[in-house]
Chains A and B, each alone.
Chain A
């Protein structure tokens, strides 16, 4: 603690403090926001059918589950870890839920089984990363394949239907806004408060910036990281159940490739892949950016090849801009 304070004191004597407007504006989220505005503008030029709030909100529900999990993943990445198994977790927890309810178990118990499965998957990741000290990227690539495989063992190549009353979470409107969007916004607000204003939030940044210093400062890194993995596991399971409700059926391949989309959201929002930097606001904006960009192109009937190219360019731009801004402001 004392060591790091001294260095930053010295640094302050050398480097002049940045003016307030600079601190406020020159940050990676600003770039995400600008891209978002450009995306909306270009989308409206591409198709006259694009600028319809209800359509954009409806389109958001198609990836809302991934976006919600991406918010938690952002915190995992800031803490210096990564979890690539979240999308596979969605598929497996949904498959377990669907399998259990199809076997005749009452719905509340089936839902609880799905959520517990998600929590258990988070716990398995945490066990290997924290207890066995294995790199999280390797561990979660492994569990990503494992969870997805297990989902296929349970569901087979078929779909499992869910009861009619459970179908359609995306059609539940509150004040004209689909429920998944509201959940996403609420989760974002809660996590932004936790990360931005609480002690635990500050400690997450410290663990990610300098794990050794954090340890010396008495921060309980392991507990916090276990908590993050468990939270992501549980939130992924909720996402899996929401997907099941949206589609009306469960297959082993739901949210296939979703882990990359989640990482893409975090990166586009300015989260630094090696930890220590990033915000919930950034990922929040990036989730909207992705929806705007992809629906803008889809409603203009652009071919997927063009869409993939544009998304790739966006990511590269985001990474360059993020690194540029961080190198200018925080070194």
Chain B
């Protein structure tokens, strides 16, 4: 009985509701990992700004927690809303496969942004990654090398032991250190894991300092880790002896850079990811771009973008380095 009365109301509503949503603008939704994350605020702003100049409507949604399945109801809701493009920073490499499939059956384009569903790429249309992740390891080793004069002991403070991105970069760091003679006088003494929790990261950093008194540099390729490491160095006043670098958010690292605790660190621009994703989404929808490997499209301010192997796109070719001279230009 409930069902039949619902059906009747639905039918009535479809008559009235359908017309209001018929328009030419591309409907884009970005599903974030979770709410209250400054990194994604910047990424979202890229979408918002793009949709003020090109023909798209943008909305941001995100679950309260970044748990593997928490994004599923939000994707179901977007399917129901009939959006054109779902951009998403996936919380799981495979738990979303089924819901992605049902979205694509309805003709919705799925773009993973800032992280991919590695191993399940056939369940999405394309991925937009901030930079070429195969170069991050080498870039970070060069960064720490330049800070310590290419000589001495270094350590890595990472996120969780299973974090796919970090493990991939650490692999790159190890290869670079082993194969490039430029870094022959540097030795990696430890790789520790702070689980992306401030307290655990702080404890691990203190343990590193206690266990390796000759430590010269620390790479923390995670925003939580680098902030915790910088905090430890700042409170002990040992910025001259131990150089902290890695991947961090300018907003969180600004004070450490200004007071000299951290000389330089790196990241990419999340803003550009959103900006690019919105342009790509609209071009895809209008047939001005394809997801074919090797094809190109134009994005204002970023130039010609090429679709790489695995239907992946990078917003920038190398990491951006932040230091005292440029940190004020970035607000994410």
List chain A positions with a Cβ less than 8 A from chain B: 40, 44, 47-53, 55-56, 58-59, 62, 156-159, 161, 167-168, 171, 246-249, 251, 253-254, 256, 294-295, 298-299, 301, 303-305, 307-308
Which residue on A lies nearest to B74, using beta carbons? A298
Known contacts being A48-B13, A53-B6, A248-B94, is A59 close to B76, with CB within 8 Å? yes
Cβ-defined partner of A44 (8 Å) among B9, B21, B67? B9
30 CB-based A-B contacts, threshold 8 Å: A44-B13, A48-B17, A48-B21, A49-B17, A49-B77, A49-B80, A50-B80, A51-B6, A52-B10, A53-B3, A53-B7, A53-B10, A55-B76, A55-B80, A158-B162, A159-B94, A159-B95, A167-B98, A168-B98, A171-B102, A247-B95, A248-B97, A249-B95, A253-B68, A298-B73, A299-B77, A299-B80, A303-B35, A303-B61, A304-B35
B81 CB–A CB distance under 8 Å: yes
Cβ-defined partner of B94 (8 Å) among A157, A161, A246, A295? A161
Q: Given contacts A56-B6, A62-B76, A251-B92, could you give 20 more A-B pairs where the C-beta distance is less than 8 Å?
A: A40-B6, A48-B13, A48-B16, A49-B77, A51-B6, A51-B9, A51-B13, A52-B80, A58-B76, A59-B73, A157-B160, A161-B94, A248-B94, A256-B67, A298-B73, A298-B74, A301-B29, A303-B35, A303-B61, A308-B64
Which residue on B lies nearest to A41, using beta carbons? B9
B22 CB–A CB distance under 8 Å: no
* Neighbouring A residues of B6 by C-beta, 8 Å: 40, 51, 53, 56
Query: Which 7 A-B pairs rank lowest in CB-CB distance, beginning with the nearest?
Result: A48-B17, A157-B162, A304-B64, A299-B77, A298-B77, A55-B80, A249-B94
**Chain B window 151-170, contacts with chain A (Cβ cutoff 8 Å), 1 for yes, 0 for no:** 00000000011100000000
B62 CB–A CB distance under 8 Å: yes
* Count of inter-chain pairs, beta carbons less than 8 A: 96
B63 CB–A CB distance under 8 Å: yes
Q: Are A247 and B64 in contact (CB under 8 A)?
A: no
Give the CA-CA distance A137 to B61 in the complex, in Å.
Answer: 36
Q: Are B98 and A299 in contact (CB under 8 A)?
A: no
Give the CA-CA distance A301 to B64 in the complex, in Å.
Answer: 13
* Neighbouring B residues of A58 by C-beta, 8 Å: 76
Which residue on B lies nearest to A308, using beta carbons? B64
Give the CA-CA distance A167 to B9 in the complex, in Å.
Answer: 33
B289 vs chain A, min Cβ distance (A): 26
* Neighbouring A residues of B320 by C-beta, 8 Å: none
A307 vs chain B, min Cβ distance (A): 8
* Neighbouring A residues of B73 by C-beta, 8 Å: 59, 62, 294-295, 298
* Neighbouring B residues of A55 by C-beta, 8 Å: 76, 80
Give the CA-CA distance A53 to B13 in the complex, in Å.
Answer: 13
* Neighbouring A residues of B94 by C-beta, 8 Å: 159, 161, 247-249
* Neighbouring A residues of B63 by C-beta, 8 Å: 304
Which residue on A lies nearest to B72, using beta carbons? A62
List chain B positions with a Cβ less than 8 A from chain A: 3, 6-7, 9-10, 13, 16-17, 20-21, 29, 35, 59, 61-64, 67-69, 72-74, 76-77, 80-82, 92-95, 97-98, 102, 160-162
A288 vs chain B, min Cβ distance (A): 8
Which residue on A lies nearest to B63, using beta carbons? A304
Q: Are A49 and B10 in contact (CB under 8 A)?
A: no
Q: Are B68 and A251 in contact (CB under 8 A)?
A: yes
Give the CA-CA distance A157 to B74 in the complex, in Å.
Answer: 24
* Neighbouring A residues of B62 by C-beta, 8 Å: 304
A174 vs chain B, min Cβ distance (A): 14
Interface centre among B13, B29, B59, B72 (most CB of A within 10 A): B13
B165 vs chain A, min Cβ distance (A): 14
Q: Are A305 and B64 in contact (CB under 8 A)?
A: yes
Give the CA-CA distance A55 to B3 in the complex, in Å.
Answer: 12
A152 vs chain B, min Cβ distance (A): 11
Which residue on A lies nearest to B82, using beta carbons? A49
* Neighbouring B residues of A247 by C-beta, 8 Å: 69, 94-95, 98
B135 vs chain A, min Cβ distance (A): 26
Give the CA-CA distance A248 to B67 in the complex, in Å.
Answer: 16
Give the CA-CA distance A51 to B14 in the complex, in Å.
Answer: 9
Give the CA-CA distance A251 to B74 in the complex, in Å.
Answer: 20
Cβ-defined partner of B162 (8 Å) among A56, A156, A294, A301? A156
A232 vs chain B, min Cβ distance (A): 22
Give the CA-CA distance A49 to B13 in the complex, in Å.
Answer: 9
Which residue on A lies nearest to B6, using beta carbons? A53
Q: Are B98 and A248 in contact (CB under 8 A)?
A: yes
* Neighbouring A residues of B29 by C-beta, 8 Å: 301
Give the CA-CA distance A232 to B93 in the complex, in Å.
Answer: 31
* Neighbouring A residues of B13 by C-beta, 8 Å: 44, 48, 51
* Neighbouring B residues of A307 by C-beta, 8 Å: 64
Which residue on A lies nearest to B59, using beta carbons? A301
Cβ-defined partner of B10 (8 Å) among A51, A251, A294, A303? A51
Which residue on B lies nearest to A168, using beta carbons? B98
